[in-house]
Structure 1
Amino acid sequence: MGTFHMPSLGADMEAGTLVEWLVTPGAAVRHGDVIAVVETQKGAIEIEVFEDGVFEKSLAAIGDRLPVGAPMAVIARPGEVVVEAPVPPVSVTAVETIATAVPPPPIPQAAPVVPVGPGVAARILVTPAARRFAEQSGIALAELHGSGPRGEIVLADVEVRKGREDTLRQAEAVSTAQVMTGMRAAIAAAMARSKREIPHYYLSHTAELAKAETWLAAYNAGRDPASRLLLGALFVKAVAIAAKSYPEFNGHHLNGAFVAASAVHAGVAINIRGGGLVAPAIHDVNRMPLPELMEKLKDLVARVRAGRFRGSELADPTITISSLGDRGVETLYGVIYPPQVAIVGFGTPATKAVVEGDHIVPRRVVSLSLAGDHRVSDGHRGALFLGTIADLLQRPEAL
């Protein structure tokens, strides 16, 4: 038996507000199941459980603002008998209040009987938060399919149906200024810590893209838009493969020592609508086929723009990839997100004049950049790392 604690969802997180439980006492849970939703400066984050067992009881109520490490629930392993023990009070840290889009919903109770048509009634499993939001939005619960552990309709199901655009407008009506102040404060804290603790060094390199773009055009020819690849997928995959060959850029610096990661979990920097930035992870990218990686990228961007992603996606990145290619920026120099030790940037692909012998010829190129942690790596290894990424982009069929 163990106590489930509020996880750390990034170096900039100090606390989160519990807005919804997705399981009830007595429910069986498996590793990776989403059991709760927590509101932070970055949005609503789904919290996953880390072991198999039985959800015995919650130690936190809806609306509680909990610091990282605070007890949230008791998870019993299969066959264990729960022995009641006093639970120490939770000490909430004094940090700025996090604004939420709607008032905290009540603790989930038994599913109500919801009418679905004239003279017809059926039991629909639905959490109180989802029911209330559906009523406010004029959405019929009978038209939804639940994605909760027992098939119940959860808040996310209603949000998807209505569209996050309306939901974000409701959040902004509460206090746009307060929400953005919280987001910017979190980013500022993480970046200030990075510059204070990490001795950065920077490198840049130009990579040719003609072969990658030609291969991409041939791959996409005849495919419907939904199944086509974008150049960004090749960028992420090339970085992941190179990071496997240069492990000093893939891992975390913790307690004064570097710990190389056994897998490449690429954090992809994504802008949040209305401002702010997050870099959630796509797991095991170096072993992922490009079509699957493209689907993961599209799904991740859609959920981040909707303000909905999982805690493990924020806690797991081993290296971050950022691009401002759609903003016309030639070169991007990033700030390392602690406890990571590297960030790779991609600028805007462009056609430039290149001297070859006695001739000037046009070439499609992109500027790569690396911000590295000098405690772990140096410029020599960084140059080899960027060179490997550029070489991989010359062999797109190998990605």
Structure 2
Amino acid sequence: MAEFVMPSLGADMTAGTLGRWLVTVGDRVSQGDIIAEVETDKGTIEVEVFTGGVIEALLVGEGEKVPVGTALAEIGEAGTALESASAPVSAPASASASRSRGIMTLGGSGDLDGPMATPAVRRRAHELDVPLQGLSGTGEHGRITREDVEQAAVAEVQAPSGDRVRISPYARRLARQRQIDFTDVQGTGPEGAIAARDLEGAPAKASAESPKKRMQRAIAAAMTRANDEIPHYYVEHAIDMGTALEWLREKNQSLSVNERLVSGVLFLRAVARALRKHPLLNATWQGREVIQGDGSHVGLAVSLRGGGLVAPALRDADQGSLSELMARMTDLVSRARAGAMRSSEMTSATITLTSLGERGVESVTPIIFPPQVAIVGFGAILTRPWVVDDQIVARPIVRVTLGADHRVSNGHQGARFLVALDRFLQEPDKL
């Protein structure tokens, strides 16, 4: 039995909200399958599973915020699930749910460790978002009936104003997610209970924090921590991009408009290759220990249209063709701006690439994203006077700045990294 837990999707993340399950009990999953969406201060992240098998239990309900490391689901080995595992079951409503409370989702008329209920009743409980655990059954031998579930669905709760109202658990969850005070909402459900449909159009609390503000707060916390805790050092290098740009022009002549390469993909590949040659920069700082990276996974700083910044990783950016890397980079940027990133993309980078060249700045001195130990900033490619064969000529020059963690590397090693980066860009045909 394996546990699927709330992942840490950033050094500053301590808890996350389970936004949506993409699987049900009894589903077979393989390593790498996306099975849930987690809401964080930086957006909604698709979370992959790293163990194949059969979903045996969903331990946390949608809309619940739980600490990092909390078990969200149980995954058993394929072939061990009961035949009735496909019967839908309600996820528990409390974030503190655990096996100690006897949470079970596999079984037919009742499991030894869980409440007795038929598959039809379990299905109805799932539809109404009613947790069976702790529900008293009025049927034979204490079995939970359909009527028990429907009665629990409209139980009275205390509204934010202090009044007692009747509201379904699902509607209550929606109200919490949308920051709605449901005291004045007119219910249309059984006995006047508030249903989910009654919340449509209801105003959110004026004090509710917007996603943009939450992201700004998360970025501020991470960057303040980085500036306070990481002893940065910086080295800068000017690189002649003449050979690389000429190669790009010739290469793009044979490609369609949608397939054409940009200088950014050369930067990305060169950083990944240089990272492979200088493993001290291919690491993370965890507590007081350096953890070596398992590949050249480069974070790509992406500015969001509504404000904010994310830096998802392009894994193994040193591998494959440049055309393949260009397609992956385009896809990653599009998904990042659409809020459709995956958990592995938010946790695996050991170095980040940020480029402000399109904004016209000559150079950038970036702050490291913890727990990474390095970041590379590219400025604009500008025409500069340059000495070639003792002659002053006009050349396209880009200024590259490496910011690194002095606990892990030093200026000499950082300089060697930038020199390696330069050499790779002088031979674009080998990238």
TM-score by length of 2: 0.70
Aligned to 1:39: 39
Aligned to 1:182: 214
| Alpha-carbon shift at residue 257 of structure 1 (Å) | 1.8
Task: Identify which range, 2-11 or 358-367, moves more after superposition.
Answer: 358-367
Aligned to 2:416: 384
CA distance in 1, matches of 2:17, 2:288: 31
Give the aligned residue type for 2:311: A
Deviation per CA, 1:275-313: give whole Å up to 9, x if none: 111110111111221111000000001111111110110
Task: Verify: 1:4 aligned to 2:4, yes or no.
Answer: yes
Aligned to 2:57: 57
CA distance in 1, matches of 2:320, 2:64: 39
CA distance in 1, matches of 2:55, 2:313: 27
Distance 1:108 1:203, change over 3 A: farther
Give the aligned residue type for 1:59: L
CA distance in 2, matches of 1:280, 1:200: 22
Asked if 2 retains the 8 angstrom alpha-carbon contact of 1:264 and 1:284, the reply is yes
Distance 1:53 1:13, change over 3 A: same
| Alpha-carbon shift at residue 109 of structure 1 (Å) | 5.4
CA distance in 2, matches of 1:25, 1:39: 22
1:383 partner SS: helix
| Alpha-carbon shift at residue 181 of structure 1 (Å) | 1.6
Aligned to 1:319: 351
Aligned to 2:280: 248
Distance 1:91 1:204, change over 3 A: farther
Give the aligned residue type for 1:223: L
CA distance in 2, matches of 1:259, 1:175: 41
Asked if 2 retains the 8 angstrom alpha-carbon contact of 1:21 and 1:107, the reply is no
Task: Verify: 1:69 aligned to 2:30, yes or no.
Answer: no
2:396 paired residue among 356, 364, 370:
364
CA distance in 2, matches of 1:43, 1:337: 17
CA distance in 1, matches of 2:207, 2:260: 39
| Alpha-carbon shift at residue 65 of structure 1 (Å) | 1.3
Aligned to 1:306: 338
Task: Verify: 1:231 aligned to 2:263, yes or no.
Answer: yes
1:234 partner SS: helix
Asked if 1 retains the 8 angstrom alpha-carbon contact of 2:26 and 2:81, the reply is no
RMSD: 2.7
| Alpha-carbon shift at residue 16 of structure 1 (Å) | 2.0
1:214 paired residue among 234, 243, 246:
246
2:210 partner SS: helix
CA distance in 1, matches of 2:227, 2:299: 19
Which structure's CA Rg is the greater one? Answer: 2
CA distance in 2, matches of 1:382, 1:19: 41
Aligned to 2:159: none
CA distance in 2, matches of 1:107, 1:188: 42
Instruction: Give the total of aligned pairs.
Output: 323
1:223 partner SS: coil
Task: Verify: 1:289 aligned to 2:314, yes or no.
Answer: no
Task: Verify: 1:194 aligned to 2:247, yes or no.
Answer: no
| Alpha-carbon shift at residue 175 of structure 1 (Å) | 8.9
Aligned to 1:150: none
Asked if 1 retains the 8 angstrom alpha-carbon contact of 2:276 and 2:296, the reply is yes
Asked if 1 retains the 8 angstrom alpha-carbon contact of 2:299 and 2:312, the reply is yes
1:248 partner SS: helix
| Alpha-carbon shift at residue 360 of structure 1 (Å) | 2.6
CA distance in 1, matches of 2:125, 2:384: 60
Distance 1:327 1:175, change over 3 A: farther
Asked if 1 retains the 8 angstrom alpha-carbon contact of 2:281 and 2:351, the reply is yes
CA distance in 2, matches of 1:178, 1:357: 58
CA distance in 2, matches of 1:212, 1:176: 50
CA distance in 1, matches of 2:43, 2:376: 25
Larger relative contact order, structure 1 or 2 (CA cutoff 8 Å, min sep 6): 1
| Alpha-carbon shift at residue 359 of structure 1 (Å) | 3.9
Asked if 2 retains the 8 angstrom alpha-carbon contact of 1:250 and 1:319, the reply is yes
CA distance in 2, matches of 1:372, 1:61: 41
2:318 partner SS: helix
Distance 1:394 1:229, change over 3 A: same
Distance 1:324 1:357, change over 3 A: same
| Alpha-carbon shift at residue 176 of structure 1 (Å) | 9.5
Q: Percent identity?
A: 46
Aligned to 2:21: 21
Asked if 2 retains the 8 angstrom alpha-carbon contact of 1:61 and 1:107, the reply is no
Aligned to 1:133: none
